[in-house]
């Protein structure tokens, strides 16, 4: 999950991002890119991540749908481009 436009998409293009999501999905790994995280739940362990998808918040509109996942493992990336 990212909180802004996907760094993979910006650097390598939309086609590669979709290809990577397909490869990961075949291995039962869900890759959520370009989402806005709204909150996280859990005291000692991360129990749920709530987020809005890019299609719901793009063009400065207010998101009306909130999604959530209960993760087994969370991998967070800080981008593959140069630091800002």
Q: Specify the pLDDT at position 39.
A: 85
Q: Specify the pLDDT at position 4.
A: 54
Residue 80 confidence class, pLDDT cut points 50, 70, 90: low
**DSSP label of 39:** E
Q: What are the structure tokens assigned to 54, written together?
A: 């890019």
The residue extents of the domains of the chain are 7-69
- pTM score: 0.56
Residue 82 confidence class, pLDDT cut points 50, 70, 90: low
Give dist(CA 42, CA 58) in Å, integer: 28
Contact 49, 66 (CB under 8 A): no
At 23-53, the pLDDT tens digits run 888 988 877 777 778 888 888 888 888 888 7
């Amino acid at each position: 999950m990212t909180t802004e436009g996907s760094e993979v998409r910006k650097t390598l293009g939309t086609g590669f991002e979709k290809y990577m999501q397909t490869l990961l999905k075949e291995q039962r790994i869900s890759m959520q890119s370009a989402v806005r995280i709204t909150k996280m739940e859990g005291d000692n362990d991360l129990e749920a991540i709530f987020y809005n998808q890019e299609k719901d918040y793009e063009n400065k509109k207010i998101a009306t749908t909130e999604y959530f996942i209960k993760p087994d493992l969370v991998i967070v990336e800080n981008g593959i481009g140069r630091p800002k």
